[in-house]
Amino acid sequence: MSHAGPDRVRVHPATLAGTVRVPGDKSVSHRCLLLGSLVGEEVTVRGLAPSGDVASTAGALRTLGATVELSPDDEGRLEGRVVGPLREATDVIDCGNSGTSLRLLAGVVAGIDGLAVLTGDASLRRRPVGRVVRPLTAMGAHLHARGDDVPPLVVRGGDLRGITYEQPHASAQVKSCVLLAGLRADGPTTVVSPMPSRDHTERMLRHLGATLDVAIADDGTERVTITPGPLVAAPLHAPRDPSSAAFWQVAAAVAGTTISTPGVLDGETRNGALRVLQEMGADATVTPVDTDGSEPVADVTVTGGDLRGGLTLGGRLVVDALDELPVLALAGAMSAEGLEVTDAAELRVKESDRVATTVAALGALGVTLQARSDGYRVEGGQRPRGGRVDAAGDHRIAMTAAIAGAVGDAPVEISGFAAVATSYPTFLDDLTALGGRVELLD
């Protein structure tokens, strides 16, 4: 379902312009499969990303007894059907590179009577799970993790009680994990977060008939309450991924070209990077598209020019642009006045330590960033020169380096490029279609 592409590539400077149809949204694709398998009758899905992470969720659900049948549509997006119910798995559940799969599945298996062992690749086995152990334990499940905080994660699920859980960070994965467990609890469950985060689980649960209340207080605190009950089958649809579109939007913004990305998810919790580029001085046209799915969708066209920069990002904007912060560092470097990112300590525990790997990747290209414990600062007026970058096993670092090669002054050689299959296996095809020049080295 996902294809490991070339692992070493050289990207040459080029003018990137045109229209690109990016793959389905990774976060929504996971949820189409996960929530679809909880309905108890057949649910059709379409628009899913043909990516490694989504394949991990599909494989995990099959291990849990679901039928998941997916095949490519005429644009390479996956469509098919999911049929639950889920039951105790007879083998360990391999989540590959996908933190979203592991953390959301923890909430699902907490509601299944039986034992589950969740694990993943070397990167995932370094990422924290204490954040889901705490609330699920409070709900009555029994969980054990290595060193209490990293996978493998062992869950003995069963009778759950409804709780109110206040999470310290605005993590959509933790919120979703607890809401999915709450669906199977003995009474309502509330998740309180310091601010809103991506809300795909809430939107899709409502789309499937769940009872859900969402309130955002004046101070920004978000409270989401789920009342347990059955889900009702409805078709599920993943729009295109704004986090994938962001690479091309940054390319257009810094190079002064125009790139259109039709049909991307356009919820407020996901379009933070686009808002940042607009505030930096890029021009964006956003045209809403009708959809029968659970998410707002828009055609987005970005035209670059002289990027001013000079912004400090923190709070809500950081959560809304979380996965785009590596490539936004490149936009900051190529703007007049640079970019500062605070409140982003979570970057340290993504597929890699993204403060360190962004600093190293752009540093290898002569772009200087100052690492901060909770973000970075980058001076403006810098252009990437050629060089060699190690993707550090992180798809978004690999793609950030590729964009730096395309918009910079000299070729960039990237090793570990196969990691892009995690979210965007067709990245090089799209780069070429927009006018990019790529050499495959092995």
- Please report, as ranges, the residues that interact with ligand S3P according to CB under 6 A: 27, 100, 171-173, 176, 198, 322-323, 346
CB of 382 to ligand S3P, least distance (A): 26
Pairing of strands 114-119, 93-94: parallel
Residues in the chain: 442
Q: Which is nearer to ligand S3P, 100 or 382 (CB)?
A: 100
CB of 210 to ligand S3P, least distance (A): 17
Instruction: For the beta carbon of residue 292, count every other beta carbon within 10 angstroms.
Output: 8
User: Which stretches does DSSP call E strand in 304-374?
Assistant: 311-313, 339-341, 369-372
Q: Which two tokens stand for residue 68?
A: 């998941």
Q: Sheet of 8-12: strands edge to edge? A: 387-390, 412-415, 8-12, 437-440
Q: Which is nearer to ligand S3P, 177 or 438 (CB)?
A: 177
Contacts of 379 (CB under 8 A, 6+ apart): 333, 338, 368
Q: Which is nearer to ligand S3P, 124 or 322 (CB)?
A: 322
Q: Which is nearer to ligand S3P, 10 or 77 (CB)?
A: 77
3-state secondary structure of 208: coil
Which residue do the tokens 């096993």 mark? 393
Contact 7, 34 (CB under 8 A): no
Q: Which two tokens stand for residue 192?
A: 């309180």
Torsion of CA 38, 43, 49, 50, to 10 degrees: 100
CB of 170 to ligand S3P, least distance (A): 7
CB of 377 to ligand S3P, least distance (A): 21
Distance CA 23, CA 6 (A): 18
Instruction: For the beta carbon of residue 4, count every other beta carbon within 10 angstroms.
Output: 12
CB of 5 to ligand S3P, least distance (A): 20
Q: Which is nearer to ligand S3P, 11 or 180 (CB)?
A: 180
CB of 171 to ligand S3P, least distance (A): 4
Asked if 121 is an active-site residue, the reply is no
Bridge partners (DSSP) of residue 214 are 224
CB of 19 to ligand S3P, least distance (A): 25
User: Which stretches does DSSP call E strand in 373-436?
Assistant: 375-378, 387-390, 412-415
Distance CA 246, CA 183 (A): 33
Distance CA 369, CA 338 (A): 10
Distance CA 102, CA 293 (A): 25
Q: Which is nearer to ligand S3P, 27 or 51 (CB)?
A: 27
Q: Sheet of 78-83: strands edge to edge? A: 67-72, 78-83, 43-48, 236-237
CA 429 to chain centre: 21
Task: Tell me the C-alpha to C-alpha distance, in Å, between residue 106 and each of 57, 116, 288.
Answer: 12, 9, 35
Distance CA 278, CA 47 (A): 28
Distance CA 11, CA 407 (A): 10
- Residue from 323, 343, 394, 430 carrying the catalytic annotation: 323
CB of 113 to ligand S3P, least distance (A): 26
Q: Which is nearer to ligand S3P, 10 or 30 (CB)?
A: 30
Q: Which is nearer to ligand S3P, 70 or 172 (CB)?
A: 172
**Active-site residue set:** 323
